[in-house]
Amino acid sequence: MAGYGSRSVCSGRRVTLPESERAADMIVFGSINLDLLLSVPSLPEPGQTLLALDSQTAPGGKGANQAVAAAQDGASVRMIGAVGQDGFADAALYGLKQAGVDLSAVRQVQDRTGLASICIDHEGRNHIVVAPGANRAVRAAWIEDNRLLPGTVLVTQMEVPPDETAAALHRAKQAGMRTVLNLAPAVSLPLETMRSVDILVVNEDEAAWLARHLQTDDSAAALHALLGSTVIKTLGADGVHIANAEATTSLPAFPVSAIDTTGAGDCFVGVLAAALERGASTIEAARRALVASALCCTQPGAQTASPAQHEIEAALR
């Protein structure tokens, strides 16, 4: 996504919230947005004007969504991100506060809070456009050294500046943390950074983009062979393919009647990371994340649809 350099201020003030007294199990380094959700009869074609059937606003951003999903599944989560000094900031942070995410490292900067326009059709399919705003100011230096603890997990995506994402991943690896990268949206990172990631999560479009970029096949197995990371390729209603040093495994999706797929991918990543932090194997964590992301599709929105831990446990039984 272009334009990360405009209007951002790196030294913004922190959101005034009490700091967690215990170390977080997980750090999420990523975006915080306010989502404008539009229910439409069909996804718009170029040049087409549609009348929405309904509209609402909700907290969003891939980083925030993943942090909420992990917290809902019982993880202690610390968010690293930014909001603007505008009327949207409180609304963008609402879901994180409700989920109990530690926001003491979130800063307010002299830019607009990130916004996302999301059109959702009657089949639950979506079309998303994001204005990064304050997310362009997020810096890896905001992660305090004493928070980089061996054995904990860093989760990141690509809605904040790529150079800062690479720096955060590097610092986490140097500290002995486990790293999870959701390459969404698909943005170029140094090959050295990609190869240092423990778990790479991509959907079909992101896998295809990465395969073209690396001049290889878009299968999870081919990407793993080139990068060395465990690769999880999500396939929507067809489940996931997982490739690591042991094997390539396919897991089916958990069957539900989906009404909104907006938050499914982020829910998957958040719950996957929470399960990994608790010591689950990659296969066990992915199976749990598939159930959680399916449950997320049965409710509107992203953060508001993230299932609670007891709901995930009930569905797994």
Catalytically annotated residues: 266
- Whether residue 63 is annotated as binding a ligand: the answer is yes
Residue 201 burial (10 A CB sphere; 0-12, 13-18, 19+):
buried
- Whether residue 238 is annotated as binding a ligand: the answer is yes
- Whether residue 165 is annotated as binding a ligand: the answer is no
- Whether residue 47 is annotated as binding a ligand: the answer is no
- Whether residue 163 is annotated as binding a ligand: the answer is no
- Whether residue 297 is annotated as binding a ligand: the answer is no
230-234 and 199-203 beta bridge pairing: parallel
Q: Compute, in degrees rounded to 10, the torsion defined by CA atoms 207, 150, 81, 76.
A: 100
- Whether residue 34 is annotated as binding a ligand: the answer is yes
- Whether residue 102 is annotated as binding a ligand: the answer is no
Asked if residues 72 and 87 have their Cβ atoms less than 8 Å apart, the reply is no
- Whether residue 249 is annotated as binding a ligand: the answer is no
Q: Which two tokens stand for residue 41?
A: 């009869």
Cis bond before residue 185 (omega within 30° of 0): yes
- Whether residue 62 is annotated as binding a ligand: the answer is yes
- Whether residue 35 is annotated as binding a ligand: the answer is yes
- Whether residue 182 is annotated as binding a ligand: the answer is no
- Whether residue 266 is annotated as binding a ligand: the answer is yes
- Whether residue 198 is annotated as binding a ligand: the answer is no
Binding positions: 33-35, 61-65, 159, 203, 234-239, 260, 262, 265-266, 296, 299, 301
Binding positions for ATP: 203, 234-239, 265-266
Binding positions for K(+): 260, 262, 296, 299, 301
Binding positions for substrate: 33-35, 61-65, 159, 266
